[in-house]
Amino acid sequence: MNAIQGFSGALIPRRELFVSAGAITRISLVLMAGIGASAHNHSPAHHPQRLHPRFARLADIASHVPHGLAGLSVLAPVAFSRALSSTENPSGDDLHRSGIAICGFPRTGSTYLKFAIERSLETPGAVWRTHDVLAVPQLEEAELLVLVPLRDPRSTAISWSLYNNDEPALSLMRSRIHSYSAWHRQIARYAVSPGVRFLSFDYFTTEPSQALSTKFSAAGIQPRHDHIAGQDVAARLGDDDAAHGVEPRHTHVPSDHRASLRADYEALLDDPKLASQLSSAQALFEALLRRAPQPPAPNSHQADVHQNS
């Protein structure tokens, strides 16, 4: 059938209905952008990385326009977490006490990077860490150096699914990738800012001193330790997890428990139904990675250690 019946009883050609749906989408994006721009300096952080799974695709669509994610947080607030933690909603004094901020998507090594920096500077509390990509303008206004860790979408989606104890389902994995793409498309808008710098997960988890050196130098930061070992950072992070009773699924360093659960998520990501979406996320990652210092030839042992984190 080439037409469907409208509310008035008249037949509407399917082609016209498709065009109308496309027009509605474009209008919605324009509205999101306008509302997001007006709310940009007034609304709190809304955790775009913590989208309800049903709204991840909507966020991915909204992220294609400037201020689209901020607009979505106003038009569809139920899509975002409203339970702001202290680390996601800093005060001016909090930021004043910090010289560096880390803004990273979940499971991209932001906690590891925080420990590495504070170990290098020997200054606990010198780093403000957040997952909220919409907080970047606030961090820049506070004149903090903003470091963004970058990890490939496949490894990130698996680690995030493990962390959240996701059922191995195609729909949930698709939502994880939609959220990844939305977040990284938004962070790309800040890439031209001189205060926002990118770091490769593979680099800073193997050679943290080398990875950080160019960022410190450009920002005029003098580390107390010129060399810190990745194994030392991982050990300190593991000790901190143990001290806080962090469950094996939620640890910030690799664990045999998580490694044993990867296979189901790996299989989902090999499904052809996700190929296009995963390819798009990978393209976003690779474009941003070109802005990050590149690691030397990877140490095979350390690469094996960190692939399960």
**pLDDT at residue number 13:** 47
For residue 115, pLDDT beyond 90:
no
Gap between the Cα atoms of 231 and 216, Å rounded = 21
Confidence of residue 226 (pLDDT cuts 50, 70, 90): confident
Query: Lowest-pLDDT range, 58-67, 149-158, 222-231, 271-280?
Result: 222-231
Work out the end-to-end distance of the chain between its first and last CA atoms, rounded to an integer number of angstroms: 51
Confidence of residue 87 (pLDDT cuts 50, 70, 90): low
Q: What is the mean pLDDT of residues 56-81?
A: 84
- The CATH code for residues 91-306 is 3.40.50.300
CA distances from 80 to 19, 69, 106, 243, 295 (A): 30, 10, 15, 31, 35
Gap between the Cα atoms of 190 and 211, Å rounded = 20
Confidence of residue 119 (pLDDT cuts 50, 70, 90): confident
Q: Return the higher-pLDDT residue of 191 and 308.
A: 191
| Domains in the chain: boundaries | 15-84, 91-306
Amino acid at residue number 47: H
For residue 300, pLDDT beyond 50:
no
For residue 69, pLDDT beyond 90:
no
Return the sign of the alpha-carbon dihedral for residues 173, 67, 47, 150. Answer: positive
**pLDDT at residue number 8:** 41
Q: CB 135: neighbour CB atoms within 10 A?
A: 22
Among 44, 42, 43, 37, which Cα is nearest to 65's?
37
Gap between the Cα atoms of 304 and 55, Å rounded = 34
**pLDDT at residue number 308:** 41
Q: H-type helices in the chain, by residue range?
A: 14-39, 56-62, 68-75, 92-96, 110-121, 136-141, 153-163, 170-187, 201-204, 208-219, 230-243, 256-259, 262-269, 275-289, 300-306
pTM confidence score:
0.79
Confidence of residue 81 (pLDDT cuts 50, 70, 90): low
**pLDDT at residue number 240:** 80
Average per-residue pLDDT for the chain: 78
Within its chain, how far is the Cα of 15 from the centroid?
Answer: 38
**pLDDT at residue number 183:** 95
Top mean pLDDT of 77-81, 235-239, 275-279 is at 275-279
**pLDDT at residue number 43:** 47
